[in-house]
Amino acid sequence: MKTKYIFVSGGVLSSVGKGLASAAMAALLESRGLKVTLMKMDPYLNVDPGTMNPFQHGEVFVTEDGAETDLDLGHYERFTNINLQKENSVSAGQVYETVIAKERRGEYLGGTVQVIPHITDEIKERIKKVAKAKDVCIVEIGGTVGDIESLPFLEAIRQLRFDMGEENVIFIHLTLVPYLGMSGELKTKPTQHSVQKLREIGIQPDFLLCRTDRILPPDIRSKIALFCNIKAENVITAKDVSNIYEVPLVFYEQGLDEKICQRLRLKAKSKGLAKWAKISETLALPKNGTVEIGIVGKYVDLTESYKSVSEALGHGAIANQVKVNLKYIDSEKLESTNVESELSGLSGILVPGGFGNRGVEGKIKAIEYARIHKIPYFGICIGLQLAIIEFARHVCGLNKATSREFSNTGEFVIDLMEDQRRVERLGGSMRLGAYQCKLTPKTLAYETYGSLEIWERHRHRYELNNHYRKILTDHGLILSGLNPELNLIEMVEVKDHPWFLTCQFHPEFKSKPFAPHPLFIGFVKASLKNKMQIKKTDRKITPKTSTLSSGKLSKNRSTEYR
């Protein structure tokens, strides 16, 4: 059977939900037993989002083979059983870089290199390579119709329909149908203009996914169908939902997967979506109430920066039959405010990954608060590094403990790996992708995983300085995970604490709703236990402010590239 292609574009505005829609469609088709893969085509000229500020682009997702990609690949993996690779994420920068390199090598035989056919051919070849041996390849085109940088990608998929045949390719366009409360109307003009722009490029959509806050009534669907030259039954409501795992159910109820299979002549019967319904039911009606978890970071003004973390916490909540209420705490503001006022009432505290010195002292104060008051603490990447710095300062007496990332002087308990000292190019040069970790028996890490060997995804430059291992362990720090090949510490925990566990890697990248990551299951479970204990004893925590760190690092933001 020939590979079938589904191309997903969007209009009106960005972040309307193309990534989630693509992931949901993949889930529906995968549930029918089809082999599905997904791709994200980003029109920006960056080679990858690795050096982009999270405020501009959101989270950087990391694949098993070490690619720094758009956060939508996280949605793709969470909604399916697929582990994606570098080739599943394509940017305009990658495409242009490849074509120019070919021209420099003389591969075009002296011809004039142009957007058509050279850029479009490169895009098509990348799509066909990923789609090989798959039943369906879903390709999301980033940005919106009308963006000048998206035109080569749209032209490439227009050509692919002729190359592959109409029966093997469908176009799905996602648009916005806003409801104006003042007039009490659903407005279809944005959708009409978006489709008009798409048709000017030469693409007639087969399906419209209309993002709206309510089910579209038949008359609105008929109106959209008339002006957009599409069948009314192919105008699908992409309704706002209370949690993203309801999206497949919304599409399934409208028969989208059945319509796609009919259009592409795919003979694959539906097996229902019972597991998705169960997930949604658990999230809507958790048996064990709620638990409050604080995420202490510096990108809290755009919570998409911590998308995989928040989703993984949700997966841990599903496993524990609870609802997680997340409180995003600005670590920079925490430096100058009362810690008790911000952190009291939390059942657990998490410090996610990040870069640069801004807000670091606030994170250290939060970590110390969690350690002293026996609040479950989960540190990821820099969350491990800062836990070590906090412990070195306040338990080991190394008052000048710091990271070489933050300062030029001090006790560098966190330092650059030797091979990172020679790095001159920042892009794609960190420790990236899956690495082995050996766990120490009879530790919290081992109990949580139930295994002595794990593989986890990394994205960082700095590590625990091995010269400080002895003083840290002599004072009670437990080094519970080790990369045997590089002799680098991967996991650290604290003695005599209900749940204080940190990791150098990013476990959130491997968590799925049907396979929650063990660390997030354990952290949510510990947070729930802490909440129940507090409720049982009705104890009031008095902050030990005299021990909390008060020193601040210089805020030289010009040195931060994230």
Find the CATH number of the domain harbouring 167: 3.40.50.300
Query: What dihedral angle (degrees, nearest 10) is formed by the CA atoms of 136, 139, 145, 148?
Result: -140
Give me the phi and psi of 98, to 5 degrees please.
-65, -45
pLDDT, position 429:
65
Backbone angles phi, psi at 66, to 5 degrees: 90, 20
- Looking up tokens 């999206």 gives 247
Query: Which among 236, 259, 279 is the end of a domain?
Result: 279
Percent of the chain, pLDDT > 70? 93
> What value does the mean pLDDT of the chain take?
91
Quote the CA–CA distance of 176 and 183 in Å, as a whole number: 17
Q: Burial-class residue 486 by CB neighbours within 10 Å (0-12, 13-18, 19+).
A: middle
Asked whether the predicted pLDDT for residue 129 surpasses 50, the reply is yes
> Do residue 376 and residue 257 come from a single domain?
no
Classify 33 in phi/psi space as left (phi over 0), alpha (psi -120 to 50) or beta: left
Residue 387 predicted with pLDDT over 50: yes
260 & 300 share domain: no
Residue 554 forms part of a structural domain: no
- pLDDT bin (cut points 50, 70, 90) of residue 554 is very low
- Total-model pTM: 0.91
CA distance 544 to 365: 11
pLDDT score of 265 more than 80: yes
Q: Which residues are catalytic?
A: 381, 506, 508
Predicted local confidence at residue 546, as pLDDT:
36
207/305 same-domain check: no
In a domain, residue 415? The reply is: no
Dist. CA 208–CA 249, nearest whole Å: 17
Two structure tokens written together for 324: 């997680």
User: Tens of pLDDT along 54-83?
Assistant: 777 789 999 999 999 999 999 999 999 999
Nearest-5° Cα angle at 329, 328 to 331? 140
Is residue 562 assigned to a domain? no
* 211 lies in the same domain as 250: yes
In a domain, 421, yes or no: no
pLDDT of residue 12: 83
Buried b (16+ CB within 10 A) or exposed e, 345-360: ebbbbbbbbbbbbbbb
> What is the rounded average pLDDT of the residues 115-139?
97
Q: Are 197 and 339 part of one and the same domain?
A: no
Asked if 189 and 125 sit in the same domain, the reply is yes
Give yes or no: residues 70 and 134 share one domain. Answer: yes
Reduced to 3 states, what is the DSSP secondary structure of residue 250? helix
Strands of 207-212's sheet in order across:
89-91, 36-42, 136-141, 4-10, 169-176, 207-212, 235-239
- Final residue before a domain boundary, out of 228, 256, 279: 279
Would you say residue 322 lies in a domain? yes
CATH classification at residue 532: 3.40.50.880
Q: How far apart are CA 36 and CA 511, in angstroms?
A: 19
pLDDT in tens, 319-337: 999 999 999 999 999 998 8
pLDDT at residue 549, rounded to an integer: 40
pLDDT at 33 over 90: yes
Looking at residue 423, what is its pLDDT? Answer: 57
User: Is residue 172 one of the residues assigned to a domain?
Assistant: yes
Strands 477-483 and 431-439: antiparallel
Q: How many CB atoms lie within 10 A of CB 301?
A: 10
Q: Which token pair is 149?
A: 């940088």
Question: Phi/psi class of residue 58: alpha, beta or left (left: φ > 0; alpha: ψ in -120 to 50)?
Answer: left
pLDDT at 297 over 90: yes
The answer, yes or no, to whether residue 557 has pLDDT greater than 80, is: no
The verdict on residue 167 lying in a domain is: yes
Cβ proximity of 262 and 293 under 8 Å: no
224 to 175, 176, 254, 332, 363: CA distances (angstroms): 11, 12, 17, 48, 50
Range of the domain at 327: 286-410+430-549
Is the pLDDT at 541 greater than 50? The verdict is: no
- Indicate whether 116 belongs to any domain: yes
- pLDDT tens per residue across span 404-455: 999 998 999 999 876 655 655 555 568 899 999 999 999 999 999 999 999 9
